[in-house]
Structure 1
């Protein structure tokens, strides 16, 4: 058994983590031993390794916040779970590991036949996209929404979820090479960011102005998106891929009535009851199992390749997610 462990944080994320042998203790009452099938490496995971994320676990720690596993063994008192069953792992349990011991009540059984690679990415990005699309502004079929970082995992999920709801998307990317990939997902409009963004958005939408803007970049990208929105629109930020704070002009806030707010999925989980969370996951699991919701995967790595996997996840200009397959 091995897990990807780190004892300190630093500016080069792959330098602080390594695959380390370990031994699991015996099962206690109510526990399950799980073999991890797949776990993604998300931007938040990379920021956790560098120390730049909003919530950091105590050290030493094992990386990985989400994933899918197969039940290997259950304690004698556990009902409803059996060896061979595929389960969704609890958030923040250190999923970059070949095996875990988890409380049975924290595991979510998954439908048979679902793609474990896609289901492994269920916990973070799909709910982020779904909540950004549904819980910020009351959108109706035919409405427009604009997002940047459209070639990101959240961006891809948002495009697919918007299509299901009949909402049209303007998708902003930072390089021409990313346009084709975003178009393949079913985007209505794909544009490369630039100073004349507001004019090009109006031309592409026939003059319609989105009432919702979704920003993951920050810096002046926030202001360019604000200028493309309808008066009184809401602009929500959930990331800073550009490495700079959101910049937005007083004229956008005062004279055009743009509202700027933030979104953090961890806060939503903390403030939301279990029934609402379970309903959301059931919806997303159904869409993934039906093939209506998926993410592009760039490459998979084994547990012994964790340094290369983290480096690939931290690199720019990727065309898909990096997945860790701890058991090969």
Structure 2
């Protein structure tokens, strides 16, 4: 079988390579899954660069998420049948075949959109969990930067379902209309400059309403803009560092306005929330995906053997959709 492997950290398109390995077998209590579609996320790029929260032992196979079909069942496995469509939770998904324990597989409806299912594990779940971090009621405002990202688009859709209003910050005008059509209540173009300028624009867009929660995917000066924009005792949550810079917040907002800054990692959230929370979260996401209520654009698809081209494409700063790998 083919799989993606890397034995050193560095520029993703250079360190990842497609290699041939013997086909694995299910074995007792295990499931053999033939992967069909896999997504490329920022976390995957950071893993290849050695800058993610966990550094795998090398050589390693990356890949946060994907979707495949059950190819064979080991002795003693129940609840699944050959041909079932599943999402592995275990990671290392960029491969043709994957062996997993049945409890680490999410079973999907047979007629679900396979490409969208390949992007179900990380971004939609992150968006839903982020909205749980503050006490919000219908009609409340939430803001985010990198609103045109996969998490950003999912967050707009999730907020709308919960009756929340969103201020969505982007760096260029091209995605503005698409985000409005998706349900974004306000879409602001701001290139990460003066924090007070952004705060004034947010106040005008919301009619001076209190913004209780701000979601930060960028870090650096962008965090300062969110901290200046939320209401007193508001919460800023950072889940990414697209800028490559540490979060910056004026101490004035932390000390005199009681603004809180905290980090978010989906893996940590699941550990704290417990197994049932994960089951409930994904059950709801599957229902909404099956109903066509969530989804993000796909810009390009690459076979595994073109992993270098796929990763170079995924690293481009101004994409209009996700990059997928196919077997």
Query: Shorter-chain-normalised TM-score: which range?
Result: over 0.9
CA contact (8 A) 2:233 2:257 kept: yes
Structure 1 partner of 2:8: 8
> Alpha-carbon deviation of 1:99?
1.1
Structure 1 partner of 2:59: 60
| Cα distance in 2, alignment partners of residues 207 and 80 from structure 1 | 53
Superposed, 1:137-152 pairs within 5 Å as 137-152=134-149
Q: State the SS of the aligned residue for 1:154.
A: helix
> Alpha-carbon deviation of 1:24?
2.2
Residue in structure 2 matching 1:153, options 147, 150, 155? 150
| Cα distance in 2, alignment partners of residues 80 and 259 from structure 1 | 44
Residue 288 of structure 1 pairs with residue 254 of structure 2: no
| Cα distance in 1, alignment partners of residues 31 and 301 from structure 2 | 26
| Cα distance in 1, alignment partners of residues 284 and 185 from structure 2 | 24
Residue in structure 1 matching 2:173, options 159, 176, 179? 176
**TM-score, normalising length: structure 2:** 0.96
Residue in structure 1 matching 2:163, options 166, 172, 193? 166
Residue 275 of structure 1 pairs with residue 276 of structure 2: yes
| Cα distance in 1, alignment partners of residues 203 and 24 from structure 2 | 61
Structure 1 partner of 2:246: 245
| Cα distance in 2, alignment partners of residues 324 and 184 from structure 1 | 28
CA contact (8 A) 2:40 2:322 kept: yes
| Cα distance in 1, alignment partners of residues 261 and 103 from structure 2 | 38
Q: Output the aligned Cα RMSD.
A: 1.2
CA contact (8 A) 2:141 2:166 kept: yes
Superposed, 1:31-180 pairs within 5 Å as 31-92=30-91, 94-134=92-132, 136-180=133-177
| Cα distance in 2, alignment partners of residues 272 and 225 from structure 1 | 26
Structure 2 partner of 1:203: 204
> Alpha-carbon deviation of 1:324?
0.8
> Alpha-carbon deviation of 1:273?
1.9
> Alpha-carbon deviation of 1:79?
1.9
CA contact (8 A) 2:24 2:98 kept: no
CA contact (8 A) 1:34 1:99 kept: yes
CA contact (8 A) 1:209 1:228 kept: no
CA contact (8 A) 1:24 1:101 kept: no
> Alpha-carbon deviation of 1:241?
0.7
CA contact (8 A) 2:170 2:187 kept: yes
Q: State the SS of the aligned residue for 1:62.
A: coil
Report the CA distance shift for 1:199/1:96 in structure 2 as closer, same or farther (over 3 A): same
Q: Any unmatched runs of 5+ in structure 1?
A: none
Structure 1 partner of 2:321: 320
Residue 235 of structure 1 pairs with residue 233 of structure 2: no
Structure 2 partner of 1:307: 308
> Alpha-carbon deviation of 1:180?
2.6
> Alpha-carbon deviation of 1:91?
2.8
In the TM superposition, what whole-angstrom CA distance separates every residue of 1:123-152 from its partner, at most 9, and x where no partner exists?
Answer: 111111101112x11111111001001011
CA contact (8 A) 2:270 2:277 kept: no
| Cα distance in 1, alignment partners of residues 66 and 25 from structure 2 | 22
In the TM superposition, what whole-angstrom CA distance separates every residue of 1:79-106 from its partner, at most 9, and x where no partner exists?
Answer: 22111110111232x1111111222232
**TM-score, normalising length: structure 1:** 0.95
